Chains A and B, each alone.
Chain A
Amino acid sequence: MLLSAGVFCSAIMPGQDDELAKSIERGKMIYSENCITCHMGNGEGVPAAFPPLAKSDYFINAPENAIRAVKFGLIGKIKVNGIDYDNMMPDPGLGKDEIADVVNYISNSWGNSSDKKIITEKMVEETKENK
């Protein structure tokens, strides 16, 4: 949490809108290849199986949760928008740049907004696995 607050504040820089737009565009491709079959085309997920990404309280105020899930995969129980999920997301094996791109896409699609804040490779690098 502390980490995210720090990095997200420092992440707003001039000229970055353009960079964010490009990252989102690349992220869309990565999403359609690695995420879409479970989380679906509009980020709605699959009831009782895969949680939604659209307006998901799992990462809306804590984008590092999204980075962590994409970087390391997820296993076991989580609660998303009040509903329990107990499944597994394999580590998709993406590069740090790809992780940043896909999280930027997810954070700015289907009603989600990162308020123009961009996830950078460095932030992906600094995100540690929950032990």
Chain B
Amino acid sequence: MTVLNNNKPLLTFMNKNIPLLKKYIPLALGGALLMASAGLMSNSGMNPDKKPEKKFSEASLQVDTVATGLTMPWASALLPNGDLLVTERGGKLRLVQKGKLDPQEISGIPEVYYKGQGGLLDIALHPDYKSNGWIYISYSSPKAAGEEGDDNGANTALIRAKLKDHALTDIQPLFKAIPNVKANVHFGGRIVFDKKGYVFLSLGERGQKENSQNLGRDQGKVVRLHEDGKIPTDNPFVKTEGARPEIWTYGHRNPQGMIIHPTTGVIWEHEHGPQGGDELNIIEKGKNYGWPLITYGIDYDNSIISKDTARAGLEQPVTFWRPSIAPCGMTFISNDKFKEWKGDLIVGSLKFMYLQHLVVKGNKVTSREIIFDKIGRVRDVRQGWDGNIYVVLENSGKVVRISPKS
């Protein structure tokens, strides 16, 4: 145990502060882990039959239920004190304390458009939550007076607020995707921070695929905002006539997984594609991800959307899923305790009710495997500050924690 403790600060320091040394980390890490395992072996009562060099796998992990009784949960955020905030798509924000769902909901959530795939969506704590208390929340927002778009329509919005007892306070509307659209599908909704002062929000095309290519509309885009909602002046289309200045990337269908790479700081995103065309993408300023001009899938009525899977000027996915898994939620594993899985991706599947472990080398996915088959309809996958992975399961109304067996 002492070995592990002694090494921990060193590794943390190296990871966060010396990116140039990145390539040496695996070496240092391997050594440290070997020593750590040896330490654990002798001190923590671990099964002595388990050889330390055994490959890290699903069998190395345990799943613990940390919340139950939720109704259609969508996303979770682990607070510094270990409590969980969980969004329910129906429009409630719930608090889970010491594994118990607080019967009293958190007040202050704005009116949500709860229909089809719409409702209360993502939640993310500001990277400096401990000092500033900001909680960011996305949701399907019904058309308000004076807003552009269809009557009785809706689109995705972002707010931030602070939590005081059972209430959201200091609520600030930051952004609303325009125009409102009367459709029940494709709200996107993932929130990520790049820790450089910007927040990104993914937006679905609201069932109107051609508008993913229309820079005058927010549908099928990833947008980039200052953390207070102001639009950065260095966004790629700020000077493009007719384009909405918040747009960072376009040509998306329904992106519901988004995460910053822990060492490169680049955004990785996945999106629900058409039949056989779910994609994993690396999101870079101003780029066009091709929907619906190119796709690996066909429409759900079996019609052809595009005969092309590639075209000049349009980005290729890192990988795609055929058949579609309906990816929802994604995290990079950045904690040492996941050993050789560190740096890999975990992706949820709504459709097949499992997780996928994607082995990542640089900008490539070199292999993928199903883990925790039948775990449930996965809505959200994220790593908590404790290094464990929190998975939100829509069908069973649970949040489970995945951690290495000790």
Contact = CB atoms under 8 A, between A and B. Distances in A.
Contact of B394 (A36, A42, A90): A90
Interface string A18-54: 0000000000000011101110111000100110000
Contact of A93 (B116, B301, B324, B394): B116
- Counting chain A CB atoms within 10 Å of each CB, which of B115, B275, B324 scores highest? B115
Contacts of B301: 32, 36, 41
A37 B184 contact: no
B377 A88 contact: yes
A75 interface: yes
Given A46-B351, A90-B72, A92-B116, A75 B302 contact: no
Interface residues of A, number: 19
Given A88-B394, A90-B72, A33 B183 contact: yes
Interface in B80-131: 89, 114-116, 118
Contacts of B72: 90
Interface residues of B, number: 25
Interface in A62-77: 75
Contacts of B275: 37, 40
B377 A94 contact: no
A123 B394 CA distance: 29
Contacts of B353: 49, 87
Contacts of A36: 300-301
A84 B293 CA distance: 39
Contact of B395 (A38, A88, A94): A88
B3 interface: no
A42 B303 CA distance: 12
Q: Which 3 A-B pairs have the closest CB atoms?
A: A88-B395, A93-B115, A41-B301
Interface of A: 32-34, 36-38, 40-42, 46, 49-50, 75, 87-88, 90, 92-94
15 contacts: A32-B301, A34-B116, A37-B272, A37-B300, A37-B326, A40-B275, A41-B300, A42-B302, A49-B352, A50-B351, A87-B353, A88-B394, A93-B114, A93-B115, A93-B184
